[in-house]
Amino acid sequence: MSWLPSLKTATPEEGFELAIKLARMAVKKTQPNDEVRSRLRADYENNADSLTMASQVVAIHFQTVSKANGFWSDT
């Protein structure tokens, strides 16, 4: 089974969790080496700009998930 069978979620909170997973999977696919990711984590975990950019990536993914689920529709 695919790690991403659907963008559909039952609630906005589940949608946000999916957005986080999308962001994390993008990092994992971009840098598949666990050791390298662990070593690089020290560079960004204490950097406010890096954390803000990570939050922005999650927000962009959440917009995608929200659109797929109609969370912002009036109906």
CA distance 15 to 32: 25
Per-residue pLDDT of the chain (75 residues; tens, 9 = 90+): 788 999 999 999 999 999 999 999 999 999 999 999 999 999 999 999 999 999 999 999 999 999 999 987 765
Q: Are 1 and 58 in contact (CB under 8 A)?
A: no
The pLDDT assigned to 73 comes to 75
pTM: 0.88
Residue with tokens 């922005």: 56
CA distance 50 to 46: 8
The pLDDT assigned to 17 comes to 97
**Angle, to 10 degrees, between the axis of helix 48-69 and the axis of helix 12-30?**
120
